[in-house]
Amino acid sequence: MASAWVPLPASRTMSSVNNSTLGNLSVNVSSCPDYRTFHRLHMVVYSLVLAAGLPLNALALWIFLRVLRIKSVVSIYMCNLAASDLLFTLSLPLRLSYYAQHHWVFPDLLCQTSGAIFQMNMYGSCIFLMLINADRFAAIVHPLRLRHLRRPRVARRVCLGVWALILVCAVPAARVHRPSVCSHAGRKWRLCFESFGDELWRGRLLLPLVLLAEALGFLLPLAAVLYSSCRAFCVLARPDAPQSRRRRKTVRLLLANLVIFLLCFVPYNATLAVYGLLRGDLVPARPGTREQVRGVLMVMVLLAGANCVLDPLVYYFSAEGFRNTLRGLSAPLRARTLAGNGTGDAPPEPRWETLPSARLDATDQGLLQASHASPVNQDSAL
């Protein structure tokens, strides 16, 4: 049995707003559960994700849009992935405020929007990673048959369709993320991201929505990533396959996508599916099993949120144009540091014209290659 839940005191103004807002609700509300341990854990991890993910994804988006100018198919998919991750990191201050105060003090719409953004980022990231793998699959396994699909115009239309899909799916996700109400010490408090009631789980919206998102937003991309990666690895492992630097970068990209899927998305989505079946009473379980699974889910959701920190590493280690741009940006800083410390003659600051990889045709940018170039043969977890 959970111990008594003790929220941090809200300001007088916010308390009066909460009381007036909740005054019309029924007095028959459940007692507030004690989620303070999970709240502290989430606050620490999400603070680190915000501190690292916000500058990394903002810088990645700037490089793709202003320097590389997303001329290749892979860079288009990576740019949209960075935009999805940046959107999630911008919503983290709302979550941090909730976990710090243990109750929701903002309007209901912000709770619904923040919950929907998490779903958009996770399943959008799965789809964009799948598209990156699919482009590598087409370039390596079927370079001639599928070359008409590897065009920037096609990639932009596909990304537009992905954003339209996840925005449409965000509407029902926002509906189920309305703040719930609990009582403690004679007062009513609002909870966000958690404590979805049994009626909601057994209804016609939440559980079908979770299962549909699992099938289309996770299982389908996972199957596509596994299949395309295996086929690409088989082709690259042939004795007659060219042993080039581009081949090594392709292998790194495919392995990085697999690691992100297996580390960030598989644990969370597998646990969420089990928890949803338990909450919907579709699977018999012993007493206490549901809470144990929920505890695991609260940890797995942090891995899912960490994907926005890992994705920029994919850009750096697999995209030569992206990596060279970062090196060009850091060279003047290193030169000024050396000059200020008097450690010797600082190297001259490179001009942008001396960084051809930042504006070369994608054929010379490794994986950021142009499409016409010849390819190488109760639940914050919701």
- Residue 245 tokens read as 């630097």
Section 323-334 average pLDDT: 66
- pLDDT tens across 153-188, in order? 999 999 999 999 999 989 988 888 888 888 887 888
- pLDDT tens across 180-203, in order? 888 887 888 899 988 676 667 776
Q: What is the CATH number of the domain that holds 50?
A: 1.20.1070.10
| Mean pLDDT of the residues in the chain | 79
The 3-state DSSP class for residue 143 equals coil
Q: Provide the whole-model pTM.
A: 0.79
Section 85-104 average pLDDT: 95
Does residue 271 fall inside a structural domain? Answer: yes
**Closest C-alpha to 194, from 320, 135, 86, 279:** 279
Alpha-carbon separation of residue 16 from 98, 189, 264 (angstroms): 18, 12, 40
Structural domains of the chain, count: 1
Please say if the pLDDT value at position 144 is more than 60. Answer: yes
Does residue 3 fall inside a structural domain? Answer: no
Please say if the pLDDT value at position 364 is more than 70. Answer: no
pLDDT band at 146 (very low <50, low <70, confident <90, very high): confident
Please say if the pLDDT value at position 39 is more than 70. Answer: yes
Please say if the pLDDT value at position 33 is more than 90. Answer: no
pLDDT band at 372 (very low <50, low <70, confident <90, very high): very low
**Closest C-alpha to 295, from 274, 313, 310:** 274
Section 280-291 average pLDDT: 82
Please say if the pLDDT value at position 379 is more than 70. Answer: no
- Residue 232 tokens read as 């690409």
Does residue 340 fall inside a structural domain? Answer: no
Q: Which domain holds residue 213?
A: 35-306
Give the per-residue pLDDT at 306.
93
Please say if the pLDDT value at position 321 is more than 80. Answer: no
Give the per-residue pLDDT at 182.
86
Does residue 352 fall inside a structural domain? Answer: no
Within the chain, residue ranges assigned H as helices are: 12-22, 36-62, 73-101, 108-140, 152-176, 198-201, 206-214, 220-236, 245-260, 266-279, 289-305, 307-318, 320-341
| 303 vs 379 pLDDT, higher one | 303
Give the per-residue pLDDT at 243.
67
**Closest C-alpha to 363, from 373, 353, 349, 352:** 373
C-alpha to C-alpha distance for 26 and 178, rounded to whole angstroms? 16
Does residue 8 fall inside a structural domain? Answer: no
Section 324-340 average pLDDT: 63
Give the per-residue pLDDT at 111.
94
pLDDT band at 340 (very low <50, low <70, confident <90, very high): low
Does residue 221 fall inside a structural domain? Answer: yes
- pLDDT tens across 267-282, in order? 999 999 998 888 877 7
The Cβ of residue 367 has, within 10 Å, a number of other Cβ atoms equal to: 26
**Closest C-alpha to 210, from 236, 180, 177, 188:** 177
Please say if the pLDDT value at position 212 is more than 80. Answer: yes
